[in-house]
């Protein structure tokens, strides 16, 4: 008979715990709905802080160089060979340009195949390991191939086959940076770091499972409204694109512009836009 009150007490405790869990779930749902109703990218304070962080180096540069913003912009356009880029078309006849375009398309083709055939990919790789981790490993391998293809396209294969060049690489890297104007270094550096800030924020908020299609590959991925999703749309792909343009502007020389480096930047931007649209609409 004494077990009855104990059972009732346990039942009341379980009911109370269930009620608390339901209340917490409801609070989280209300918070998510409120954030959704307010709309994305509404963190004005953080957006303002990023704007200030970007603007301050330019204000300092204008003060130190004793140039007007217009003069600074004109010199930057010259440093980046923008006028040359607007009239350059010869790279379209160079097979090496199309080889690098094909190499740069590989990750996005891979992403498209996995996103649109997630169940098939899941069944194929499940015996190997956790599907999203297998996908991440494959994606890292493709990105490494992409980086090597870019390095060979920019410097040439002979450069990397020479041991003398590899020994002198640190010195040449410093020479490379020293040949850029201060404005060019600031612009390229800001774009690269801003892109990495967004990418790092994505990894921090949704984790590896969220980044590497865990939502399609058997993982529960939270719907996040905080940074960086509260600042910009598609922060992962936007961050990658912004970082790429930082690299493009840093590497913009007369020779690389003739080889089509700005076209490479545009094409990579299109690829990332395509991947973001696939994930949003398919």
pLDDT of residue 158: 87
Domains of the chain, by residue range, sit at 1-38, 44-281
**165-183 tens-digit pLDDT:** 778 888 888 888 899 999 9
Average pLDDT, the chain: 86
Q: What pLDDT is attached to residue 149? A: 95
Which of 3-12, 156-165, 179-188 comes out lowest in average pLDDT? 3-12
pLDDT of 262: 97
12 confidence band (pLDDT: 50, 70, 90): low
Give me the pLDDT at residue 168, please.
84
pLDDT of residue 21: 54
What pLDDT is stored for residue 25 in this prediction?
47
Question: In three state form, how does the secondary structure of the chain look?
Answer: CCHHHHHHHHHHHHHHHHHHHHHHHHHHHHHHHHHHHHCCCCCHHHHHHHHHHHHHHHHHHHHHHCCCHHHHHHHHHHHCCHHHHHHCCHHHHCHHHHHHHHHHHHHHHHHHHHHHCHHHHHHHHCCCCCHHHHHHHHHHHHHHHHHHHHHHHHHCHHHHHCHHHHHCHHHHHHHHHHCCCHHHHHHHHHHHHHHHHHHHHHHHHHHHHHHCCCCCCCCCCCCCCCCCCCCCCCHHHHHHHHHHHHHHHHCCCHHHHHHCHHHHHHHHHHHHHHHHHHHHHC
The model's confidence at residue 30, banded by pLDDT at 50, 70 and 90, is very low
């Amino acid at each position: 008979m004494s077990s009855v009150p104990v059972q009732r007490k346990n039942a009341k405790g379980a009911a109370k715990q269930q009620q608390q869990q339901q209340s917490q779930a409801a609070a989280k749902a209300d918070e998510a709905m409120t954030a959704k109703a307010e709309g994305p990218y509404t963190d004005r304070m953080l957006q303002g802080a990023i704007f200030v962080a970007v603007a301050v180096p330019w204000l300092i540069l204008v003060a130190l160089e004793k140039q007007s913003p217009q003069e600074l912009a004109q010199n930057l356009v010259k440093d980046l060979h923008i006028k040359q880029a607007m009239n350059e078309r010869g790279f379209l006849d160079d097979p090496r340009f199309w080889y690098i375009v094909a190499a740069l398309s590989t990750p996005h083709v891979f992403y498209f195949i996995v996103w649109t055939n997630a169940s098939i990919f899941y069944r194929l790789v499940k015996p190997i390991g956790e599907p999203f981790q297998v996908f991440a490993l494959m994606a890292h391998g493709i990105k490494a191939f992409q980086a090597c293809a870019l390095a060979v396209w920019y410097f040439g294969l002979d450069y990397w086959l020479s041991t003398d060049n590899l020994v002198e690489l640190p010195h040449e890297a410093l020479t490379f940076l020293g040949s850029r104007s201060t404005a060019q270094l600031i612009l390229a550096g800001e774009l690269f770091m801003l892109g990495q800030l967004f990418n790092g924020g994505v990894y921090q908020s949704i984790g590896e499972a969220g980044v590497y299609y865990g939502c399609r590959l058997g993982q529960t991925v939270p719907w996040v409204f905080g940074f960086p999703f509260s600042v910009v749309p598609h922060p992962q792909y936007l961050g990658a694109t912004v970082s790429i343009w930082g690299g493009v502007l840093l590497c913009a020389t007369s020779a690389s512009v003739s080889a089509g480096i700005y076209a490479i930047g545009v094409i990579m931007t299109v690829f990332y836009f395509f991947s973001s649209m696939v994930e949003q609409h398919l």
